[in-house]
Amino acid sequence: MYEQFFVVKNLWMDLYKVILMVFIPDFYLQAATSSQPDCPDDPRHKFCGDNWKTYRSYCHFQKRNATGVKQLFEGSCRSCNSRERAHTLLMKYFFNENGACRIKYGAPSKRNNEKCLQKLFTLFSRSTQYYEYKYITYKGFSSVFQRYETSTRRSFRRCLRTLAKFCDVDRDRYVSGEEFVQCFAKKDDKKMTVQSDERSKVAIRCIKNICYCFAYDGNVIVHFRKENQEKYDCMKVRKNWNKRHKLKEQCNEDSRQNVKDRYIEVLEKELFKNTNDSDLIADMAFRSMHSVNLMLLWKHDNLDKNSDKVLDENELDSVKQTLNTINKNCTKAVLVSCNVNRDLYLTKNEWVGCMGFKSNRRIDKKPIKFQASTARPSTTQARHLGCPPVAVCTLNCTGGFERDEHGCVMCKCRDLLKFLQTLLDETKDSL
């Protein structure tokens, strides 16, 4: 009787434990571990299980492992956005093989864009939401990332178009879901063949289906398809790249100043050719600070087609063509140096201060219009132009106009023979 009672009791206890294990695992663990000593906390070695719970040490994880929980990776689950429960298809591509929540490797697209890709992988390692990529264009590639706009994504937005081209393996201008996943997968093993001579070293590195020619300093010289690797000789490409690189280095500060001086000469000829104003020609013949700046203001107003008082990239096309005829290698350097605030627009102050002479004179917002006039400027105008308030013409000249020693006042010349005859007549009368 008593033996049957104990057998039934043991059966009920075993059934009770099974029910607790299956339906109430947390309660079972508390009951099972109550009699055991507590596991020590080890904040340096936390574990994240596939149930997206963080365990304080390996001992705690082993106790939980009895219910079938598996280790997802070492570290806290919070660092990988536990809210989204990112056990998705892209999980294995956003985590290393050891499960760490860090991505250090990414396939470079072009030269310095490797840093942008590293930012991208770091971002995805922190937030591993699942994106439903079916077929997206290059424009859509950028719009998808803007759904969850953050300051980190804005920092590498300029690289998204290049990244989309790199992910487009079949070159159909669409990025499929499979291409997107493979684009963020681990890199292939680096297959490097080094060709070297006495002067330089060149390395060929193939990543996925694209190969790169690297210089000894780490710069990418050229990239090409993997199947065309035999057609490319990186040493020949290196020599051509050295020639182009030397041409760019020739544009130093002296070269830029020489380009500006020659552009002033071209602008002066253009002004004389397109202007019939005799007063203007006489004033521009004397190369003073005021006349050069006045020419540049005249050119700025002519280039400003939409009258917004700034020159954009389209309005500077004629200037670029002129600078290319002078020195093609310094065209971009000159225009970049003129744009002081780097806003892609050239104001009048930037234009005059860069191409002309520095002056403290205020630049008017009104367009510069030259009109034929032989009258002296008023006192207010003379002060505005930087001239002394009293400016008197001295001697008459031959074949043009005359100015005073400051070069500010234009006086109409008379015929020299008539002038001498008048002086003789006045002398005779005085005698």
* Three-state secondary structure call for residue 47: strand
214-239 average pLDDT score: 57
Which helix (H) or strand (E) covers residue 139, if one does?
helix 138-145
Q: In the chain, list all ranges with CATH 1.10.238.
A: 83-185, 251-356
> Within the chain, which residue ranges are assigned CATH 3.30.60.30?
39-79
Looking at residue 346, what is its pLDDT?
85
CA dihedral 225, 227, 232, 233 (to 10 degrees): 120
Distance CA 336, CA 259 (A): 14
Whether the per-residue pLDDT at 307 is higher than 70: the answer is: yes
More confident residue, 205 or 196: 205
User: In this structure, what token pair is assigned to residue 87?
Assistant: 């056990």
Q: Which residues contact 205 (CB under 8 A, 6 or more apart)?
A: 190, 191, 192, 211, 212, 214
Highest mean pLDDT among 5-9, 397-401, 424-428: 424-428
Tokens standing for residue 352 = 């005059």
CA distance 236 to 293: 48
The DSSP code for 252 is -
Q: Give tens-digit pLDDT for 265-306.
A: 888 778 767 665 554 554 444 444 456 777 788 788 888 888
> How does the average pLDDT of the chain come out, rounded?
58
What percent of the chain shows pLDDT beyond 90? 0
Determine the Cα–Cα distance for residues 147 and 196; give it in Å rounded to an integer. 48
Pick the CATH number of 39-79 from 3.40.50.300, 3.30.60.30, 3.40.50.1860, 3.40.50.2300: 3.30.60.30
Residue 337, pLDDT > 60, answer yes
> Per-residue pLDDT averaged across 154-177, rounded?
61
What's the CA gap between 100 and 125, in Å, rounded?
A: 9
Q: Which of the two residues, 16 and 401, has the higher pLDDT score?
A: 16
Residue type, 406: H
pLDDT value of residue 207: 58
Phi/psi of residue 34, each to 5°?
Answer: -65, -35
Q: Out of 30-39, 127-136, 341-350, 414-423, which region has the weakest mean confidence (pLDDT)?
A: 127-136
Question: Which pLDDT score, from 0 to 100, does residue 232 have?
Answer: 61
Quote the tokens at residue 163: 């990244």
What pLDDT score was predicted for residue 113? 41
Is 241:215 a contact under the CB 8 Å cutoff? yes
What pLDDT was estimated at residue 89? 31
pLDDT for 52 equals: 64
Query: Which of 93-102, 239-248, 330-339 shows the lowest per-residue confidence on average (mean pLDDT)?
Result: 93-102
- Strand segments, DSSP code E, in 124-180 are 135-136, 175-176
Maximum average pLDDT range among 49-58, 329-338, 372-381? 329-338
pLDDT of residue 160: 56
Is 389 in contact with 383 (CB distance < 8 Å)? Answer: yes
Element containing residue 23 per DSSP (H, E):
helix 2-23
**How far is it between the farthest Cα atoms of the chain?**
169
Residue that wins the pLDDT comparison between 243 and 405: 243
According to the model, what pLDDT value does residue 409 have? 40
Rounded alpha-carbon distances, angstroms, from residue 348 to 283, 309, 365, 368 = 21, 7, 8, 12
Residue type, 168: D
What 3-state DSSP class applies to 259?
helix
For the chain, helix (H) and strand (E) counts, in that order, are: 18, 13
What pLDDT does 60 receive? 77
| pLDDT at position 335 over 80 | yes
Check if the beta carbon of residue 149 is closer than 8 Å to that of residue 106: no
* pLDDT value at 314 more than 70: yes
pLDDT bucket at 326, cuts 50 / 70 / 90 = confident
251-356 folds as Recoverin; domain 1 (1.10.238)
**Identity of the residue numbered 381:** Q
Fill in the amino acid letter for 396: N
Cβ within 8 Å of residue 87, ≥6 positions away = 50, 52
Closest CA relative to residue 222, chosen from 250, 195, 203, 197: 203
**Residue range 97-112: average pLDDT?**
37
Q: 216-236: buried (b, 16+ CB within 10 Å) or exposed (e) per residue?
A: eeeebbebbeeeeeeebebee
Q: Which residues contact 224 (CB under 8 A, 6 or more apart)?
A: 210, 211, 231, 232
Strand order in the sheet with 210-215: 191-196, 201-207, 210-215, 220-225
- Identify the CATH number of the domain defined by range 83-185: 1.10.238
Q: Is 345 exposed, middle or buried (0-12, 13-18, 19+ CB in 10 A)?
A: middle
pLDDT of residue 208: 56
Is pTM beyond 0.75 here?
no
Residue 50 binned pLDDT confidence (cut-offs 50, 70, 90): low
Is it the case that residue 38 has pLDDT exceeding 60?
yes
User: pLDDT band at residue 357, thresholds of 50, 70 and 90?
Assistant: low
2-16, 99-113, 231-245, 329-343: the lowest-pLDDT one: 99-113
Looking at 264-397, which runs of residues are DSSP E strands?
A: 310-311, 346-347
What pLDDT was estimated at residue 294? 73
Identify the pLDDT of residue 110: 39
Provide the pLDDT for residue 94: 37
Q: Which of 76-80, 298-302, 404-408 has the lowest mean pLDDT?
A: 404-408
- Within 10 angstroms of residue 327's Cβ, the number of other Cβ atoms is 18
